[in-house]
Structure 1
Amino acid sequence: MNDVTLEEIKEIKYLREVEKLELKEIAEITGKNFRRIGYIANKYSDYRYKKEFSEIEKQKIIKMFESGYTKKQIAGTLGRTFYSISNFLTRYYKTTNSYSLVRKNNFKIWTSEEEKYILENYKEKTARELAKDLDRTVLGVRTRIIKMRREKKLQISKKIGGYSKEFVKRLYVQ
């Protein structure tokens, strides 16, 4: 540190902490290299530059996050760091896992009509077709079929190597 005096360190600290200037501006004022100013500011200052969020920015962050934007997308849009957005959302939602608070559970309760439709059509249609007809996900239909089997509402014959017992019997009888 032979090219920086104690006076220069004090001046940089003052410009950074009191005047709240950016490193680029301090570099222009002092005539030093931008990286060198950053090094000095970080090494000799306990203060970390913190740009406060305006009320408009806060509302944008909340609205974008609740609309389903990721923290990274919000940070890119507002010109902020990922961590500043993450910290803001943590403070706003009072928890470290703010995503789970915003993400809505889309779980729909199965109606008796939907179960009846599955019972009537599971032999002829695939899970994909049933899902399309019921406006459900394929995984949701498959999970419901498994639950209906466990509840003994749905009797599906056991399969042998991908074939039902009835199919195998017909093969050997002929």
Structure 2
Amino acid sequence: MSATSREAQAALDLHNKARREALGGCRPDLVWSRSLEAIAEAYAKKLVRMNRGMIHDPRAAELNMGENLTMGEYSPKLLVLTLTESTRGWVNEEKWYKGEPVSRTMKDNRGNQWGHYTQVISTRCTKVGIAYASGHNVQFVVARPSQWFNSFAKTQEEREEVFPWQPLWRHHEWEFLIKEELWMSQGKCGLGEV
């Protein structure tokens, strides 16, 4: 289903609040995209039809779109997952993300996921659309950010292009701060020069 204006705005506000509060700063606010919402809705409906659980869309990366998914139980009498609740869950992963390089696992050393959070704060994203679909006693919420954050970047340069404020060495906070200051002093802010 398409989101109501109020529901969409609340989810968008949570995305933008997380982006403003994220380390590295200077992320432009996202804007709501009805076309990305329609793509998200189509994929949520496909997940319901397939009835095989939560499966990431293999075409998302090819189309240079991001993706965050949430799945929950559904009853016709009760909408369990809202766009806001799903967004809150993705944003809450911030507590586990400590600036690690984006990798295939996107987890901390205890197995806590943070990949949804890094998609929310990606500097490459400018727009997002979120929708849900329900059926077979399950509900899916799908977010489609405008840019895939390239979680499988092959080189340090590719990773830095996505998250330029990542620490060079994961366990040295002072290097993290130096790199962030260098990035900011060069006048770079999110998607480009200020």
Structures share fold, TM-score greater than 0.5: no
Please classify the TM superposition score into its range, dividing by the shorter chain length. Answer: under 0.3
**Normalising to structure 1: TM-score of the pair?**
0.21
Query: RCO (CA 8 Å, sep 6+): is it higher in 1 or 2?
Result: 2
* Between structures 1 and 2, the one with greater strand share: 2
Name the larger-Rg structure.
1
* Between structures 1 and 2, the one with greater helix share: 1
**Normalising to structure 2: TM-score of the pair?**
0.19
